[in-house]
Amino acid sequence: MRSLLTLMSLLGAGLLAATGGAAAQSGDDPPTVVASEYAYAGVEPEQPKGTARFAFRNAGKETHEAILLRINPGHTLKEALDAQLEGKAAKVLGFTYAAPGKRGKTIRAKLTTGRYAFICMIPDRKKRPHHSLGQIARFRVR
């Protein structure tokens, strides 16, 4: 698990660096994705196109993450989850995580028309990934 977190952190840092030149959204506070057991709150089901920022806060009692996925056309979120996010079903656009009561770093990603989801892959005590317990927030960009 620790190695996955490290990998995802590095991936997230690389993505942030790659999009770091994008203009900030006029100083507005980004919407906050709030994680708990086992859900997210604060994710609007429809989002505008363009560069988006998502702040992250963990209001739960366990560590949670938010992996932002773009589901590729012709594929499903289930396919992506079944493949542990490897393969063609989805692309990881960003990643953040936070310990209980803490804030994670803000995800920044360029959104184009399509289907997206935040998921948490951290396992519970019985080794079930949190997304299998309902920690998924889907949204759409038209």
Residues at the site binding Cu ion, with contacts judged by CB under 5 A: 64, 120, 122, 130, 135
Nearer to Cu ion, 50 or 134 (CB): 134
Continuous segment of H or E residues that includes residue 79: helix 77-82
Distance CA 121, CA 81 (A): 9
Rounded to a whole number of angstroms, the minimum distance from the CB of residue 59 to Cu ion is 11
- Rounded to the nearest angstrom, the gap between the alpha carbon of residue 22 and the centroid of all alpha carbons in its chain is 19
Rounded to a whole number of angstroms, the minimum distance from the CB of residue 25 to Cu ion is 27
Nearer to Cu ion, 114 or 123 (CB): 123
Nearer to Cu ion, 18 or 99 (CB): 99
Rounded to a whole number of angstroms, the minimum distance from the CB of residue 47 to Cu ion is 21
Rounded to a whole number of angstroms, the minimum distance from the CB of residue 111 to Cu ion is 23
What is the torsional sign of CA 90, 32, 104, 53? positive
List % helix, strand, coil for the chain (3-state, nearest 5): 20, 40, 40
Nearer to Cu ion, 50 or 101 (CB): 101
Distance CA 92, CA 69 (A): 5
DSSP 99: -
